[in-house]
């Protein structure tokens, strides 16, 4: 058993310590908001926060998360920054197929926690690891700026 702190709760996971966080979330805990895309830290679909930092959960073993706080897309609605980002996402009608979007939101929230007025270059830099095959990048950028205004 591995104890993981996820969205503020200590949860027991019956999995090998080498199991990626992504699969502990999805398979052991039925938290399917975090998506599997590439499995190789290349697409960002699986992004969660580990002690506030965006990480690729597909390549991060649960052993490395012990004693740290994991935050997932499921907690964003109840989070001030997460809610502002999600509201802006809705307002700008950001998603197309939606597959990449929970990862996009998690990276955007991490950006806005450390940079309250991100410039285009800051957004490009923070979001560069999140691939969107539908090409929603312009709407993502607009929504991040809108969320920043809401939070100002």
Contacts with ligand FES by CB under 6 A lie at 36-39, 41-46, 56, 58, 95-101, 132-134, 136
Quickly count helices (H) and strands (E) in the chain: 5, 5
| Closest CB 94 distance from ligand FES, rounded Å | 8
Strand partners of residue 71: 49
List CB contacts of 26: < 8 A, sequence separation 6 or more. 32, 34, 36
List CB contacts of 128: < 8 A, sequence separation 6 or more. none
11 vs 99, beta carbon nearer ligand FES: 99
| Closest CB 116 distance from ligand FES, rounded Å | 25
| Closest CB 137 distance from ligand FES, rounded Å | 9
* Cross-sheet strand order for the sheet of 2-6: 9-13, 2-6, 69-71, 47-50, 53-56
44 vs 118, beta carbon nearer ligand FES: 44
38 vs 151, beta carbon nearer ligand FES: 38
- Whether 101 and 139 have beta carbons less than 8 Å apart is answered as no
| Closest CB 117 distance from ligand FES, rounded Å | 25
6 vs 55, beta carbon nearer ligand FES: 55
List CB contacts of 30: < 8 A, sequence separation 6 or more. none
33 vs 39, beta carbon nearer ligand FES: 39
| Closest CB 55 distance from ligand FES, rounded Å | 9
């Amino acid at each position: 058993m591995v104890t993981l702190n996820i969205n503020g709760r200590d949860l027991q996971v019956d999995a090998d310590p080498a199991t990626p966080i992504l699969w502990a979330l999805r398979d052991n805990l039925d938290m399917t908001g975090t998506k599997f895309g590439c499995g190789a830290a290349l697409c960002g679909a699986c992004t969660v926060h580990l002690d506030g930092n965006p990480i690729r959960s597909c390549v991060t073993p649960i052993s490395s998360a012990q004693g740290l706080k994991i935050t997932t897309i499921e907690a964003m609605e109840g989070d001030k920054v997460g809610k502002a980002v999600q509201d802006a996402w809705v307002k700008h009608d950001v998603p197309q197929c939606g597959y990449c979007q929970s990862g996009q939101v998690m990276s955007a929230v991490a950006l806005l926690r450390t940079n309250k007025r991100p410039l285009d270059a800051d957004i490009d830099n923070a979001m560069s690891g999140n691939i969107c095959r539908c090409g929603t990048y312009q709407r993502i950028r607009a929504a991040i700026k809108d969320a920043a205004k809401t939070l100002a």
